């Protein structure tokens, strides 16, 4: 169905929603551009490190003088009165074991909290004990970086906090062109994806990663299709992390002079029900989570060019440039002239009349027959 014809039909009869591009629509669509900054509510730096089951812990105990619980009397010449407890893992119960103090709960506690717990357990037995607790190997507070990176793996979460680009750098960086890369962050069952360029050029997307986060990179070139009266029909790559509608039309060779109708340039896209609702579509007449929407922009109006520069393309968008009315009229006259030229031949006349009728009714292919000159032998 011709879109310009369809837009005058009853709304309920259309299998799509036709939306004329205006500043308000462009602004609303901009709010729904994929962003990690809005996809995750928790964007604060990670909290202080806390031990988990399996973490390897080091415990060093100091006493004020020799002859105490851990330091024998003859050790007074030592440069420091301390003893190092062999490294141990936090057990399934979340505990570590310290001589003369017994089981000390470490799971869910910071190193400083574990230090105070050990001091409290030893203060009545050792000579003014002081304790240093440190993590030797993190096995629970890990961040996974997978996919199209140079060195994927699991990395300990930094106590000072790291952002997505930081952990990608720890994995060697993207293994392919940055503008073709997508980054997916998965956190507690919630997942969101953005182009890699969105992390670099829009710093608000470069949020802090948290322990147990999964960062996945994959290569997927963004493309769009242009057909109709575009300069060159075909499929085109963005070759950038983001392009506008105006840039896309330019990549396709612009509009064909003398053939395209600048007032009828259309973009086909599937939108979520929430996006469609906010741009004024009656979503009650559509089923399913995705609603087919066709955006119309008028490039005859100078304002249409500014709108097309602000309208952001998305992967798999389709651009259609309509033929000018004069082009359709010319096609009809060619059909008509061909039929009239064969009026003297009843068979050809009937054949071409049928072909013209089929073309008017929207047949997919039409063959017009031209008369073959008849020569007589001399």
Mean pLDDT (the chain, rounded) = 84
Name the least confident of 179-183, 322-326, 345-349.
Answer: 345-349
Mean pLDDT of 138-146: 94
In the chain, which residues fall in CATH 3.10.560.10? 3-32+222-323, 36-45+141-219
Mean pLDDT of 19-26: 95
In the chain, which residues fall in CATH 3.30.1950.10? 56-137
Q: Is the pLDDT of residue 178 over 90?
A: no
What is the model's pLDDT at position 231? 84
CA distance 320 to 295: 10
Q: Is the pLDDT of residue 220 over 60?
A: yes
CA distance 121 to 61: 12
What is the model's pLDDT at position 222? 95
Start-end of H helices in 163-211? 164-170, 196-201
Nearest to residue 152, comparing CAs of 179, 170, 137, 177? 170
Maximum mean pLDDT: which of 45-49, 132-136, 335-339 = 132-136
* CATH of the structural domain 36-45+141-219, one choice from 3.40.50.1370, 3.10.560.10, 3.40.1190.20, 2.40.50.100: 3.10.560.10
Query: Strand (E) positions, the chain?
Result: 17-20, 56-62, 82-89, 95-98, 102-105, 130-137, 142-147, 153-156, 181-187, 190-195, 214-219, 223-228, 234-237, 260-272, 290-297, 317-323
**65 vs 239, residue with greater confidence:** 239
pLDDT, tens digit, 9 for 90 and up, residues 149-173: 999 999 999 888 899 999 999 999 9
Homologous superfamily in CATH for domain 56-137: wza like domain (3.30.1950.10)
Q: Is the pLDDT of residue 119 over 80?
A: yes
Is 3-32+222-323 a domain of CATH 1.10.1380.10?
no
Q: pTM of this prediction?
A: 0.73
Q: Is the pLDDT of residue 91 over 90?
A: yes
Maximum mean pLDDT: which of 1-10, 157-166, 355-364 = 157-166
Inter-CA distances, 137 with 128, 144, 151, 316, Å: 29, 16, 20, 45
355 with 375: CB under 8 angstroms?
no
């Amino acid at each position: 169905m011709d879109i310009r014809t369809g837009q005058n039909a009853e709304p309920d009869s259309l299998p799509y929603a036709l939306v004329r591009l205006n500043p308000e629509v462009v602004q609303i669509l901009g709010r729904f551009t994929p962003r990690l900054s809005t996809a995750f509510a928790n964007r604060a730096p990670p909290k202080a490190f806390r031990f988990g089951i399996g973490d390897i812990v080091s415990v060093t105990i100091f006493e004020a003088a020799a002859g105490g619980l851990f330091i024998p009397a003859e050790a007074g010449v030592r440069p420091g009165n301390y003893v190092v407890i062999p490294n141990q893992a936090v057990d399934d119960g979340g505990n570590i074991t310290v001589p003369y103090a017994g089981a000390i709960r470490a799971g869910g506690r910071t190193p400083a909290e574990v230090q105070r717990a050990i001091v409290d357990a030893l203060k009545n037995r050792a000579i003014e004990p002081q304790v240093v607790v440190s993590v030797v190997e993190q096995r629970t507070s890990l961040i996974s970086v997978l996919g199209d990176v140079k060195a994927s793996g699991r990395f300990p979460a930094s106590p000072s906090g790291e952002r997505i680009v930081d952990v990608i750098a720890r994995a060697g960086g993207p293994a392919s062109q940055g503008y073709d890369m997508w980054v997916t962050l998965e956190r507690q069952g919630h997942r969101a994806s953005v182009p890699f360029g969105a992390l670099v050029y829009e710093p608000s997307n470069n949020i802090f990663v948290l322990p147990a986060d999964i960062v996945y990179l994959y290569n997927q070139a963004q493309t769009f299709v242009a057909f109709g009266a575009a300069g060159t029909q075909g499929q085109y790559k963005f070759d950038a992390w983001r392009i506008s509608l105006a840039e896309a039309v330019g990549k396709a060779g612009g509009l064909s002079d003398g053939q395209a109708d600048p007032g009828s340039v259309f973009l086909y896209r599937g939108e979520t029900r929430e996006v469609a609702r906010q741009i004024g579509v009656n979503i009650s007449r559509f089923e399913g989570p995705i609603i087919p929407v066709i955006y119309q922009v008028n490039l005859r109006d100078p304002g249409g060019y500014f709108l097309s520069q602000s309208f952001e393309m998305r992967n798999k968008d389709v651009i259609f440039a309509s033929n000018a009315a004069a082009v359709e009229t010319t096609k009809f006259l060619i059909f008509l002239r061909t039929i009239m030229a064969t009026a003297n031949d009843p068979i050809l006349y009937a054949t071409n009349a049928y072909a013209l009728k089929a073309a008017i009714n929207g047949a997919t292919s039409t063959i017009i027959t031209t008369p073959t000159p008849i020569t007589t032998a001399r």
